[in-house]
């Protein structure tokens, strides 16, 4: 059941502060829905879990028309994705995917989900919350990021020690690059020429030349980097070091660490405010979110009251924080930090990646 520290599943959900070191954990409960597999004409494997009533589908269609922003939260324990209407403050659909979903990325009109335990990549159509299909994706796909043009997604294979590229329309593989130990977080440059991958157990970030399909450099950072965040307007890459309780600031031009910023215990996810002035970092083992000045990295305040916060995103003037321990999504005001809502979602939610999609 993926309980070892060396796997991306780690120990089961028992305590708020068991030290995972930036690894996903095994769910404490199993999903009760029934799997059904069908093969479509396009050769993709379709997975359905027979539980959605016609009324639920109508409810989702109405919500998709009424709101433009939806959060797709991966739920490791219930093996599904909660689709949250951010404006309406509620779950409008639940999409069963593979085993223990973790990573998420949005590319155009598709949402991509990594499933480490079933070793596959799942694809969801955001407008209908329909599972389009799955593809094998290495030994343990974990981190994922989409190229800005929406043509490719790049998946970090935790156990396979490689970066795998997929065409977002056909789901065919477009490339594979060998990496170091336990690759986790992924970020892709705005021009689509470079990918950055946290090689967690090597304490480095690999810089991948995507056209050449090779690692062109490695940057030494802190202890066990896991999540990455690109801040290209400032020419920086931010690496969250989950066992160093800090963040490495990497100069993209020089490809070297230029600053080490102290954070809370086990920093996991990071997001910038819409205006680029604030940086939000979730601290798993402190149940807090650090709010920093995005230029100087000085701590402005520390928000409290979370339950093992992991994924984080900013949508307009609202901050979204995924609470793994509490099975909830917190919605806060970006400026004041005041909580506006808490939304019940699936079991052991992760939200590892860019989980907000805009629906026309």
Is 25 contained in some domain? no
Is 14 contained in some domain? no
Write the CATH number for 151: 2.130.10.10
Residue tagged 């509490």 (tokens): 326
Q: DSSP string spanning 188-236? A: E-TTSSEEEEEEGGGTEEEEEETTTTEEEEEEE-SSSEEEEEEEGGGTE
pLDDT of residue 159: 96
CA distance 17 to 267: 13
Is 318 contained in some domain? yes
Query: Residue 73 CB: number of other CB atoms within 10 A?
Result: 29
pLDDT of residue 37: 29
Is 69 contained in some domain? yes
pLDDT of residue 22: 54
Is 257 contained in some domain? yes
Query: Residue 333 CB: number of other CB atoms within 10 A?
Result: 12
Which domain, by its residues, includes 303?
A: 35-358
pTM comes to 0.85
Backbone angles phi, psi at 17, to 5 degrees: -125, 30
Domain count, the chain: 1
Is 159 contained in some domain? yes
Is 4 contained in some domain? no
Is 7 contained in some domain? no
Q: Which stretches of the chain score pLDDT less than 50? A: 1-12, 14-20, 24, 26-59, 63-67
Tokens describing residue 249 = 């600031």
CA distance 212 to 167: 17
pLDDT of residue 68: 79
Tokens describing residue 236 = 């920086």
């Amino acid at each position: 059941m993926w309980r070892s520290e060396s796997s991306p599943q780690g120990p089961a959900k028992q305590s708020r502060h068991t030290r995972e070191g930036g690894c996903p954990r095994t769910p404490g409960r199993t999903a009760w829905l029934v799997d059904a597999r069908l093969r479509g004409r396009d050769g993709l494997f379709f997975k359905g879990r027979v539980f959605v009533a016609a009324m639920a589908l109508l409810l989702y269609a109405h919500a998709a028309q009424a709101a433009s922003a939806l959060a797709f939260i991966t739920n490791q324990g219930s093996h599904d994705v909660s689709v949250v209407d951010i404006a309406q403050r509620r779950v409008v659909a639940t999409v069963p995917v593979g085993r223990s979903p973790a990573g998420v990325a949005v590319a155009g009109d598709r949402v991509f989900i990594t499933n480490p335990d079933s070793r596959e990549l799942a694809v969801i159509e955001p407008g209908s919350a329909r599972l389009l299909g799955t593809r094998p994706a290495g030994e343990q796909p974990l981190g994922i990021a989409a190229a800005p043009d929406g043509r490719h997604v790049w998946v970090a294979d935790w156990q396979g020690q490689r970066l795998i590229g997929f065409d977002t329309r056909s789901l065919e593989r477009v490339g594979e690059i060998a990496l170091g130990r336990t690759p986790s977080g992924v970020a892709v440059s705005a021009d689509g020429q470079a990918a950055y991958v946290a090689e967690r157990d090597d304490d480095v970030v690999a810089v991948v030349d995507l056209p050449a399909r090779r690692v062109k450099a490695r940057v030494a950072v802190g202890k066990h980097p896991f999540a990455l965040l690109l801040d290209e307007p400032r020419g920086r890459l931010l690496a969250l070091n989950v066992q160093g309780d800090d963040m490495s600031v990497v100069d993209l031009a020089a490809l070297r660490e230029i600053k080490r910023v102290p954070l809370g215990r086990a920093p996991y996810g990071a997001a910038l405010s819409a205006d680029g002035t604030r940086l939000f970092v979730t601290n798993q083992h402190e149940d807090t979110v650090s709010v920093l000045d995005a230029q100087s990295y000085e701590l402005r305040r520390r928000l409290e009251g979370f339950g093992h916060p992991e994924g984080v995103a900013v949508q307009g003037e609202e901050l979204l924080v995924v609470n793994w321990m509490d099975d909830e999504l917190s919605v806060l005001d970006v400026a004041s930090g005041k909580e506006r809502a808490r939304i019940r979602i699936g079991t052991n939610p992760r939200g590892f990646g860019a989980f907000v999609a805009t629906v026309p």
